[in-house]
Amino acid sequence: MNPNTSDAHRPAAVRAAFPRLRRAARPTVRTPFSPTEPVDVPLSGGGTFRMDRADHDRITALPLFGGRFPRCYRNDNGRGFAYVRFNLPNATGRDNNGMLARLILGADAAGKRVCYRDGDRANLTRGNLYAVSGRGGPCRQADALAVAGDQPQPGN
């Protein structure tokens, strides 16, 4: 018996005069989650990335991954930019690097460049991702402003 949790070591008179206070159990309040509620997903090499819960559930349900979320990792593109990638099985049995941001955007990213509004490549929430025409190279601030609808005013 643990002496720190038991009253057996205390004399009967002390136990009667000073009853041990028990902490009341906290009520469990479950709030329904929002599909856009971000979740932090661990990376296999350490660290985490953030994505919307609805996208996480949609990717997990894809038959390609067998009902499990794919193992994700951070992969450098050789120019100093690290992206969240996953292993994409192909017909030959070998794995290809898949870019998770492209999978989240789906058909909107086909043949386009994926950009990140806040510049954080570990923030894969829908509000942070967008696709622009063209391939490769860093996204320009003007592209981000144009997609967000905040056109810079001439002369400013």
Whether residue 26 is contained in a domain is answered as: no
Whether residue 44 is contained in a domain is answered as: yes
Distance CA 48, CA 42 (A): 4
Percent of the chain exceeding pLDDT 70 equals 61
Whether residue 1 is contained in a domain is answered as: no
Whether residue 103 is contained in a domain is answered as: yes
- Residues 88 and 96 sit within 8 Å (Cβ to Cβ): yes
Whether residue 27 is contained in a domain is answered as: no
pLDDT of residue 34: 63
Number of domains the chain contains: 1
Burial class (CB in 10 A: 0-12, 13-18, 19+), 124: buried
Whether residue 80 is contained in a domain is answered as: yes
When pLDDT is averaged across residues 117-122 and rounded to a whole number, the result is 90
Q: What's the domain range around 144?
A: 38-148
Which of the residue ranges 9-23, 32-46, 92-106 would you say has the lowest mean pLDDT? 9-23
Whether residue 99 is contained in a domain is answered as: yes
Closest CA to 73 of 61, 87, 63, 56: 87
pLDDT of residue 51: 93
Work out the number of other CB atoms within 10 angstroms of the CB of residue 49.
Answer: 22
7, 65, 118 from 43: Cα distances, Å: 47, 17, 20
Question: Which has the higher per-residue pLDDT, 106 or 16?
Answer: 106
pLDDT of residue 8: 66
Question: Which has the higher per-residue pLDDT, 16 or 81?
Answer: 81
pLDDT of residue 123: 93
Whether residue 75 is contained in a domain is answered as: yes
pLDDT tier at 111 (50, 70, 90 boundaries)? confident
Q: What dihedral angle (degrees, nearest 10) is formed by the CA atoms of 92, 96, 98, 103?
A: 0
